Amino acid sequence: MEKSHPVVLPLKKRGLNFEMLMWIFTRLSALAMYALILFAIVGALVMGARTQMNMADVLRWGFMPNSNHVQSTNIPDIAPWSTPFWRLTGSALLLVAVAHGVHGLVVICDDYIVTERGRKIVRLLSIVMMVSMSLIGLYLLWQDLLLG
Amino acid sequence: MGLTRNVGLSAALRYKGQGPMWTFILHRVGGLGMAIFITTHLLASFLGGSAGQFVNDIYENWAFQVFIFFCVLFHAINGLRITILDLFPKLIPHLREAIWVEMAVFIPTYAVAALIIIRNGLGG
């Protein structure tokens, strides 16, 4: 099998535009999500998950550190799991994931919608979706603390 | 804009892109699956009520969990492979070897997890 050897342009010749920034954001946000998920899993183990939760519960907490996700486990007290610290971690994961995901949907749409007008509509819808999903997620993470 | 692709569906299906093409397609399927799942999950938690319960019942089903775990695990492992190769472009000539490494991680991990989900789902 012959190997392809792609030409790698130096950064100056590649230019720096919004698409290029989103390209690097997609890669870096993937690493950030790995870090945040591992951080939440380590946090769960520190808070006693080793004896109070099974693997599926730990993963559910890891993918979104929201105390609703551990309600059904054997943890004796939910308070340490619903501190502002974990809500902030969850908010960071939410915002990074929504931005990464919505940009991914734009990339997929761009493969099938090729008119200038269509792509503008896709971008407008993507901004609406990103803002609304972020706000709904933040509401769900913080509602019982801030709104009683 | 000259961005139309003059490739019919049958020609597209006969294209033998091998590993790189299949990881590309599965990365898309996984990303789309997760985007739809997370959107409905957020909306269901937000709306609550019987509609929320209906959506909850769907993704507590073991068949859905087998699917969504495929989406999450494949997208995560393939995404890490893409990130490493893109941040270190000198590795790009070793793309196919990287995909073999990726499969060596993905297949056993997913197989064990899927087996456990299915076993629990069937009540064993």
Per-residue model confidence as pLDDT tens digits over A45-65: 999 888 888 888 899 999 999
What is the predicted pLDDT for the residue at B76? 95
Residue with tokens 């269509």: A118
What is the predicted pLDDT for the residue at A103? 95
Tell me how close the Cα of A43 comes to any Cα of chain B, in angstroms.
21
**To the nearest whole number, what is the mean pLDDT of chain B?**
88
Asked if B87 and B75 count as a contact pair (C-beta separation under 8 A), the reply is no
The span from the CA of B58 to the CA of A71, in Å, is 19
State whether the Cα torsion A105-A107-A109-A112 is positive or negative: negative
Number of Cβ within 10 Å of residue B30's Cβ equals 22
Number of Cβ within 10 Å of residue B114's Cβ equals 17
What is the predicted pLDDT for the residue at A2? 55
Count of pairs with CB atoms under 8 A, one residue in A, one in B = 52
Q: Profile chain A (148 residues) by mean pLDDT over runs of 10 residues.
A: 63 78 93 96 91 88 90 85 93 96 94 90 96 95 84
The span from the CA of A114 to the CA of B2, in Å, is 8
> Is the Cβ pair B83, A97 closer than 8 Å?
no
DSSP A71: T
The span from the CA of A77 to the CA of A82, in Å, is 10
What is the predicted pLDDT for the residue at A54? 87
Residue with tokens 């033998």: B16
> Measured between CB atoms, does A22 come within 8 Å of chain B?
no
Per-residue model confidence as pLDDT tens digits over B31-78: 999 999 999 999 998 988 888 888 888 888 899 999 999 999 999 999
Tell me how close the Cα of B88 comes to any Cα of chain A, in angstroms.
11
ipTM: 0.84
> Measured between CB atoms, does A39 come within 8 Å of chain B?
no
Q: Which of B5, B39, B84 to mutate to test the interface with A (most CBs of A within 10 A)?
A: B39
The span from the CA of B78 to the CA of B98, in Å, is 10
What is the predicted pLDDT for the residue at B124? 64
What is the predicted pLDDT for the residue at B84? 93
> Is the Cβ pair A108, B38 closer than 8 Å?
no
Task: Give the pLDDT band (50/70/90) at residue B1.
Answer: very low
B109-117 contacts, C-beta under 8 A, 24 or more apart = B109/B73, B109/B77, B110/B69, B110/B70, B110/B73, B110/B74, B113/B69, B113/B73, B114/B66, B114/B69, B114/B70, B117/B62, B117/B65, B117/B66, B117/B69
Tell me how close the Cα of A19 comes to any Cα of chain B, in angstroms.
15
Number of Cβ within 10 Å of residue B106's Cβ equals 20
The span from the CA of A61 to the CA of A40, in Å, is 7
Per-residue model confidence as pLDDT tens digits over B87-121: 998 888 888 999 999 999 999 999 999 999 899 88
3-state secondary structure of B84: helix
pTM as predicted: 0.87
Report CA B108 to chain centroid distance, whole Å: 16
Q: Which of B46, B62, B90, B117 to mutate to test the interface with A (most CBs of A within 10 A)?
A: B46
The span from the CA of A87 to the CA of B53, in Å, is 24
What is the predicted pLDDT for the residue at A51? 87
Find, among A83, A80, A84, A92, the residue nearest to A39 by Cα: A92
The span from the CA of A54 to the CA of A78, in Å, is 16
3-state secondary structure of A72: coil
Find, among B39, B51, B52, the residue nearest to A133 by Cα: B39
Task: Give the pLDDT band (50/70/90) at residue B8.
Answer: confident
